[in-house]
A and B are shown apart, each in its own frame.
Chain A
Amino acid sequence: MKPAPFRYHRPATVAEATGLLEELGEGAKVLAGGQSLLPMLSLRLTAFDDLVDIGRIAELQGIEAGGGAVRIGAGTRMADVERAPAAAAVPLLARATPLIGHFQIRNLGTVGGSIAHADPAAEYPAVARTLDATMEVASPAGRRTIAAADFFDGLWTTTMGPDEVLTAVSFPVWAGRTGFAVEELARRHGDFALAGAMVALSLDGDDRVRRCAIGLFGLGSVPERAGAAEAAATGRLLGDVDAEELGRSATAGLEGVPDDLHASAPYRVEVGAVLVARAWAAASAEARRSGGGERDDG
């Protein structure tokens, strides 16, 4: 299974990269880690005239913490996220990363590549959506940011323009009495999730839910938030929130749930509810135990 022919470009800077994309047009594709793109090329599921390899652009590397967020260069390898102490400030990242494929994939795959590929069953897009991450994007016209809620546009589709490159992703840090959990159901270790849930939870001193985020992945064409369930839980005493009921309400009314060889749509919804419940329970337990920090992310 060999890819169809293409031209190869290796820009040294972001400006060069976006300039190339603008010039080359629709037949050009950004190549980051290649762990999603190369199989599709080899299977000839897709083909491009030009690949623009951003793997050597220094600006896209690095993980920095500060200002209430952890900012990760789009070209940063997943394996580096796994190893970076700074990333520990975003527990959902730390817990989701080992679930992504296998270590060989993580050695090449990049944070930006995964998020820009926008697979609805992938972990990083779900982390970004759950935490309302901010995507930093560059084009020949300049730089802009896109909120996670506005970034994922459909199956494998983002709202980036054809000449835009994702340069960094900024993940907010939750301070205070927090708890986080990722629960996913995959056929085998390392496979794409059939369904998955992520919970971020913050409590006040009386064990009242100050803030929560419930992210769903594998359950639609984009990673989703269970907004109604979040709203229902916010402000309530943690002990009054029934995890199973929360799970069911989080997955009620989902549309476009995938149905395929590996799992039916009804199954995904059913197990999605179970996973939300389990993630909520785990995050709750962690938040309860947590003493909290000084900073308030307001």
Chain B
Amino acid sequence: MGEGSALGGAGGADVPVRLNVNGRGRRALVEPRRTLADFLREECRLTGTHLGCEHGVCGACTVLLDGAAVRSCLMLAVQADGCDVTTVEGIGPPDGSLGPVQQAFVDCHGLQCGFCTPGFVVSVTAFLRDNPDPSEAQIRDALSGNLCRCTGYQGIVRAVRQAASAASRPAGVEEEP
């Protein structure tokens, strides 16, 4: 057996992981099969990341992994060892107020039931950070990886437009984490 690289036995033996979640160090012993989404929800008690499909289509589980938007249901917690993870709880300013993306969703009626919302907030935050001045087509393209059943995407598209134009204003704009 390749003992040096084997991290865990069959059927439930745990593997140590260390990672930062929303700036806070976490360590745990987890089953290899534990998804990152479940790790965040259960071990870290951060239930803002939601499970809409658990097969990588709906995007409700989106988090930032070392700054990149990823589907946490398509990652094992053990794969995030040594990484920085940001969930929706860590997207806004530390004082608990709403960041510019979140505020734009309020202003533009970008949510109804709120279940898909954390995934959108995280995806949009990453998208606008990397694409500060997107075209309409780019906005819709970037949103196509997150599903919503309530809003018909109307308020969400408006929210992204608003957050983009707010971010392009030079002064007094909040930053992402």
Q: Which A residues form the contact surface with B (CB < 8 A)?
A: 1-12, 16, 19-20, 23-24, 31, 34-35, 38-39, 41-43, 49, 51, 53, 55, 79, 101-105, 107-108, 188-190
A3 to B36, CA, bound (A): 12
- Which B residues are CB-close (under 8 A) to A19? 2
| Minimum Cβ distance to chain B for residue A258 (Å) | 20
Contact partner of A42 (CB less than 8 A), chosen from B54, B59, B144, is: B54
- CB pair B5–A10 under 8 Å, yes or no, is yes
- Which B residues are CB-close (under 8 A) to A79? 68
A123 to B59, CA, bound (A): 22
Q: Which B residues form the contact surface with A (CB < 8 A)?
A: 1-2, 5-13, 15, 31-33, 35, 38, 54-56, 59, 62, 65, 68-71, 73-76, 78-79, 123, 127, 141-142, 144-145
- Which B residues are CB-close (under 8 A) to A12? 5
- CB pair B74–A35 under 8 Å, yes or no, is yes
- Which B residues are CB-close (under 8 A) to A1? 54-55
State the total of A-B contacts with C-beta under 8 angstroms: 115
- CB pair B74–A8 under 8 Å, yes or no, is no
- CB pair A9–B5 under 8 Å, yes or no, is yes
Contact partner of B33 (CB less than 8 A), chosen from A3, A35, A102, A103, is: A3
| Minimum Cβ distance to chain B for residue A198 (Å) | 21
- CB pair A9–B123 under 8 Å, yes or no, is no
Contact partner of A105 (CB less than 8 A), chosen from B1, B11, B13, B56, is: B56
- CB pair A103–B145 under 8 Å, yes or no, is yes
Contact partner of A107 (CB less than 8 A), chosen from B56, B69, B73, is: B69
- Which B residues are CB-close (under 8 A) to A3? 33, 35
A210 to B33, CA, bound (A): 52
- Which A residues are CB-close (under 8 A) to B142? 103
6 further interface pairs, Cβ-Cβ under 8 Å (given A9-B5, A10-B78, A102-B59) = A5-B32, A7-B10, A8-B76, A8-B78, A35-B71, A190-B145
- CB pair A49–B70 under 8 Å, yes or no, is no
- CB pair A11–B145 under 8 Å, yes or no, is no
A80 to B68, CA, bound (A): 11
- CB pair B7–A9 under 8 Å, yes or no, is yes
**A5-B33, A6-B32, A190-B145 known; A104+B71 contact, CB < 8 A:** yes
- Which B residues are CB-close (under 8 A) to A107? 65, 68-70
Q: Name the CB-closest residue of B to A33.
A: B74
A35 to B70, CA, bound (A): 10
| Minimum Cβ distance to chain B for residue A40 (Å) | 9
